[in-house]
Structure 1
């Protein structure tokens, strides 16, 4: 199965310097500043996840010279809770674009959805030979009522969406293959206790919040050795899934021109790059620290940035790799 990316589009929240706004989110400012991020992007309250997705999608369609009615498939990967519960953001995007004959698919695998979505595209093209063009959107709009963008995690979350139009048989930026590892033992890490069918919202309840990264210690019975072992496992599996994806398409990690990871903090990004034997300048570290982490939109944003900067030579191989809650580790190989 072969398909390639024909055009890109993005929509980002307003850029803000971390040093200027960190005290709005946490008293532990030194810890946050030590992550190395310079800026994040934030949307005003009236701008929702699908608003960002529509804007990014329209720009991608224009860039690809494609009309909405030409789309056979719309795939949307999201990181946070969308505007409504019991609601499909992918179907809403399909309607707002006017892509009324396209199938709509929603992926909710956290940050990994921006990688696993490429496999979803390949699968739909394989099982629907009549599908010719598709739209893939990765989006994050931080639900600040439940999630502190600077305190909940060691990644600083930005608001934004990125989109690409893909075409069956398109010769550039071709999907070559992918691999995914899932370990459901860690599915409970980032859940929010209240709001689901197990414990619904009730009148008079205190404001619920998502379980954050620091609550992981409870999962490990406050055993620091077990916790440190898990951190090593997370990074080891990123390396493993990159090697597996490369092997699937018959190449070596050393053949990769670039490795695009999550827009992670400086320490984690450098450690992952070193583990893969990839120089930092061949990763997305600079983009990460300049803009923050856009969840499922990270990889498409980086691809667009590299294309627009003229960084991609024909034949270059790029690995898109990272992890997401679940836990899922994924890698997709793209050939320029």
Structure 2
């Protein structure tokens, strides 16, 4: 199902400098500086992911000259800890926008939720002729009670949201295809240990902030550097595989690939992703990542908007 982006909107927390604030998060600020980030965004106390998502959605609707009643489906991708357990944040976003009766869907595949959300929008259009216009909202707001935004997964977590109004048959910024690959062996990587039903309360003297996810990853590979390096190479290989598969499904190949928008990851990771698909790093989101920080599921569409605004 072909659909295009009619308009987008964004919302960010307050911009902060990495060099000026890293000391509040980690004992070795220089190590964080080596990741290549200059700034990131942090929401003010009391501002929620729902607030960010709704603000981005309102801007997207205004830019599309639409009201919420014009939307046939709302899809929300949320990539960090939800505000509450047993709670549907897509319905909360819809309520904040004043929707009533509009179907909502929540995607929680962390940083990959953006792609799943767009796929769901396309699938809904394919299944129902009544679904013409979809609002996709992607949000990340790091919970500093659960994770250290500068010491969790090799990136600096950042708070922001992006919304896109998608319309069936819209000729601009079209979604042509997608491809996914899941290796379930790594399902436990970067999980938050405590607070879920398996371990609702941490043992005495422990907390999520004390649990280093990298320790669990190294333990998975029996602390064998060779096995860990093989894992890193596998990631690069999978990036190339899914890019090639998506291009093939769209009737394209790598010679026609103009730009790669990866996660707003650290500079080394983005360079490795660029190398995997044969593009120079200048044709990626590397410079935007330095400024924006890693906004989880919102990274790709935020960067797409910025690249377009910059004439790229």
Q: Shorter-chain-normalised TM-score: which range?
A: over 0.9
Shift of 1:201: 2.6
* Closer, same or farther: CA 89–283 of 1 in aligned 2, 3 Å: same
Q: Decide whether aligned partners of structure 1 residues 272 and 204 sit closer, same or farther in structure 2, where only a CA change above 3 A counts.
A: closer
Aligned residues: 311
Q: Return the alpha-carbon distance in structure 2 between the equivalents of residues 63 and 82 of structure 1.
A: 28
Distance 2:42 2:195 in 1: 25
Q: Distance in 1 between matches of 2:258 and 2:215?
A: 35
Match of 1:41 in 2: 41
SS of equivalent to 1:122: helix
Contact kept? 1:61, 1:68, Cα under 8 Å: yes
In structure 1, the partner of 2:22 is 22
Aligned position for 2:114: 114
1:87-106 correspondence runs (5 A):
87-106=87-106
The root-mean-square deviation of aligned C-alpha atoms, in Å, is 1.5
Spell out, residue by residue over 1:153-190, the C-alpha distance to the aligned partner (whole angstroms, 9 max, x if none): 21111100011001111111111110000111110112
Deviation digits for residues 1-51 of structure 1 (CA, Å, limit 9, x no counterpart): 111100010001111110000111101222211111100111112111000
Per-residue deviation, residues 202-248 of structure 1 (Å, max 9, x unmatched): 79774334652343101111111111111111121111110111011
Over 3 Å counting, the alpha-carbon distance change for 1:205 and 1:123 in structure 2 is: farther
C-alpha offsets along residues 54-102 of structure 1, whole Å, 9 cap, x if unaligned?
A: 0000000001111101111111111111211111110111111122232
Residue 304 in structure 1 maps to residue 302 in structure 2: no
* Structure 1 position 267 matched with structure 2 position 262: no
Cα 1:211–1:134 shift into 2, 3 Å: farther
8 Å Cα contact 1:10/1:301 also seen in 2: yes
Q: How is 1:175-254 mapped onto 2 (pairs within 5 angstroms)? A: 175-201=175-201, 206-209=206-209, 212-254=213-255
Instruction: Name the residue aligned to 1:83.
Output: 83
The answer to whether the Cα contact below 8 Å between 1:141 and 1:158 also exists between their aligned partners in 2 is yes
Structure 1: how far apart are the matches of 2:34 and 2:198?
38
Give the structure 2 partner of residue 325 of structure 1.
Answer: none
Number of the residue aligned with 2:135: 135
Please show how residues 32-71 of structure 1 align to structure 2 within 5 Å: 32-71=32-71
Residue aligning to 1:294:
295
1:72 touches 1:101 (CA, 8 Å); kept in 2?
A: no
Partner of 1:315: none
Asked if structure 2 preserves the Cα contact closer than 8 Å seen for 1:2 and 1:174, the reply is: yes
Quick check: 2:239–2:276 contact (8 Å CA) kept in 1?
no
Asked if 2 retains the 8 angstrom alpha-carbon contact of 1:71 and 1:101, the reply is no
Do 1:6 and 1:172's aligned partners in 2 also have CA atoms closer than 8 Å? yes
SS of the residue aligned with 2:179?
Answer: strand
Q: SS of the counterpart of 1:115?
A: helix
Q: More strand by proportion, 1 or 2?
A: 1
Aligned to 1:332: none
Question: More displaced, 114-123 or 5-14?
Answer: 114-123
Query: Bigger CA drift: 206-215 or 190-199?
Result: 206-215
CA contact (8 A) 2:38 2:291 kept: yes
**Alignment correspondent of 1:317:** none
Asked if the contact 1:152/1:214 (under 8 Å) is kept, the reply is no
Q: How far apart, CA to CA, are the structure 1 residues paired with 2:96 and 2:4?
A: 25
Structure 2 unaligned runs (5+)? none
